[in-house]
Structure 1
Amino acid sequence: MPRVVLILLVVALSLAGCADAPPPTAPAPTVPTADTRVSPPPSAVTQDRPLAADPAQMATDLVADESALRDPAAPNSVLAAAAHRQQAAYRILGRHPEWDSLIRPHIPADLREVVDRNIDARRQLSAMGRPKDTLPAWRIVEPRPAQELLGYYREAQSAFGVGWNYLAAINFIETAFGRVAGVSTAGAQGPMQFMPATFAAYGAGGDILAPRDSIMAAGRYLAANGFDRDPDHALYRYNNSQNYVRAVHDYAAV
């Protein structure tokens, strides 16, 4: 059965739920205008802005970075800086649930679910973690282009009825879209982290290390385990943890 190579990928690199169960939310904001606040313009993002240490400022900066990442006019240099800070911020916020009430008033309504789910996903995956003193023999490689991967996700969705966003979420959790190349301690391989025997059954004769073949195999596997009837069951079969199931739902929603 497939196994996650990285219990929380971006923790190492940067960086019990069900489909209808929302992630836990922080206390209601103490600032009355928070519900009507909107995201700041992407112009608020600069390339050289460091990650803030203050939780409230970190939340404000995170909103600016999230907004920049949604701006089709943002230059690549701004996107790269915003993405790096965004990952680092979620890593830190995920470790500090006691900050939830401090950051909540600074998150506008249009980004609240995005922020909640990203933080919740990190906490769910962190709960699965077993920290070790040594790094595994992984290599960090260039991922395939986003549009190429999206094409594979959509192809698998059309063939097997598994939502492309769920396949993308699994690909992200397992290997950061193929950036992490290596074999897990359990022996799982490839972008979607299949055990060789499982891939032999669902890979249709493909290459376990090839993004398309691995993504298509994941679609077959989830479909065979009843994704259309019970997504939670199928995701649990992919990795036997309710924390994993919830994290996949979080990232799929985002």
Structure 2
Amino acid sequence: MNDQSAVNSPPSRRRASMLASMLATVLAVVVPLAGCGGSVGEAASVAPRERLSPPAPAASASPAPEPSAPDLPAPDEAVPKDPARLAEALTSTVGRLRDAIDDWRRTGDPAKGEAPEPVVLLSLYEQRIYRRLARDAKLASRAYAKLPKAVAARAKDNVTAIRDLLSLAHPVSGPIKIKVRPAEPADALLAAFRRAERRFGVEWEVLAAVMLVETKFGRVRSPSHVGARGPMQFMPGTWKAYGMGGDVDDIGDALLGAANYLHASGAPGDYRRALYAYNHSQAYVEAVLLHARQMKQDIRNYYAYYTWQVYVITTKGERRLTGP
């Protein structure tokens, strides 16, 4: 302290002043700093973006403001190795994420801008837990037994879908050269999914699941290892036949082309046949249908998937390229 009056005050007052200063310092340290936290979507994706909230202001004489969303998981929050602790963390995260999505839809505007920080960080932690379980079947089985029934069902669908997609991934060696960009606003994409559904009768949840699997809702802009392009990953010949003269890189055109192709291949009467035509892999078909089922059960799962980040699978392990 530099206040001369404090130096000249009685010992009891000096001690009280020193304790108040120490408490303010401790509080400034512990207040969390908010930070954002086969298919191209699993083999590649986005350069880190700036966190959604600005850095904390410099210390001043006024009290530090309370954080708007305390105790959010850090982007690198540890995933518990103990099944019981993992189940507890997942159950809490799922509940808090649902509440955060409700707040976003009620007080925010999913038709504009990015998802709010609580949704981003909670969704990332949920995704990281699922990816951990997808790589450890024993841990997954033990954790499922300790989860509430609804949370266990959600986890099984997502973990199975991720495991299926990991089996199709083509690891990248050497420098990662992937073109990426932020996704369009969540409700703008939802409107485009529904337009395609109205025109061709293909459920919007299936179209959303395909786009999630292929490019994480258009974040990945690089062609696949076999030359498929655009947010729905069309091969040139297939696009020429079903793209109706549109731009393969335009999201609206690509969704109409995908719905057209899936309809011509059997949807909505036979989604398995249609999706297998889209990508000749039963693992791919299962992953898309599992994600679609989750969105049909609760539209909040669409908003959670929307904020899932892109991972690149390399010969040295996986690496997250988008998000905080």
- Per the normalisation by structure 1, the TM-score is 0.80
Structure 1 residues 105 and 250: alpha-carbon distance in aligned structure 2, compared to 1, 3 A threshold: same
Choose the corresponding residue for 1:73, options 91, 95, 103: 103
1:51 and 2:78 aligned: yes
1:157-202: per-residue Cα shift (whole Å, max 9, x none)?
A: 1111111000000000000000111111211110000012211211
Q: Hey, what does 2:155 align to over in structure 1?
A: 115
Matches within 5 A, 1:90-239: 90-134=130-174, 137-239=177-279
CA distance in 1: counterparts of 2:263 and 2:117, whole angstroms: 40
Helix, strand or coil at the partner of 1:235: helix
Report the CA distance between 1:125 and its aligned residue: 1.0
Structure 1 residues 129 and 48: alpha-carbon distance in aligned structure 2, compared to 1, 3 A threshold: closer
Structure 1 residues 73 and 132: alpha-carbon distance in aligned structure 2, compared to 1, 3 A threshold: closer
CA distance in 2: counterparts of 1:240 and 1:206, whole angstroms: 24
Percentage identity across paired residues of the two chains:
33
Report the CA distance between 1:101 and its aligned residue: 3.0
Moved more, 212-221 or 66-75: 66-75
Structure 1 residues 162 and 188: alpha-carbon distance in aligned structure 2, compared to 1, 3 A threshold: same
CA distance in 2: counterparts of 1:197 and 1:203, whole angstroms: 10
CA distance in 1: counterparts of 2:195 and 2:89, whole angstroms: 36
Helix, strand or coil at the partner of 2:40: coil
CA distance in 1: counterparts of 2:254 and 2:70, whole angstroms: 37
CA distance in 2: counterparts of 1:84 and 1:225, whole angstroms: 34
Preserved contact between residue 9 and residue 175 of structure 1 (Cα < 8 Å): no
1:4 and 2:39 aligned: yes
Preserved contact between residue 55 and residue 102 of structure 1 (Cα < 8 Å): no
CA distance in 2: counterparts of 1:104 and 1:172, whole angstroms: 24
**What runs of 5+ residues in structure 1 fail to find an aligned partner?**
15-43
- Per the normalisation by structure 2, the TM-score is 0.64
**What runs of 5+ residues in structure 2 fail to find an aligned partner?**
1-37, 48-68, 109-115, 295-324
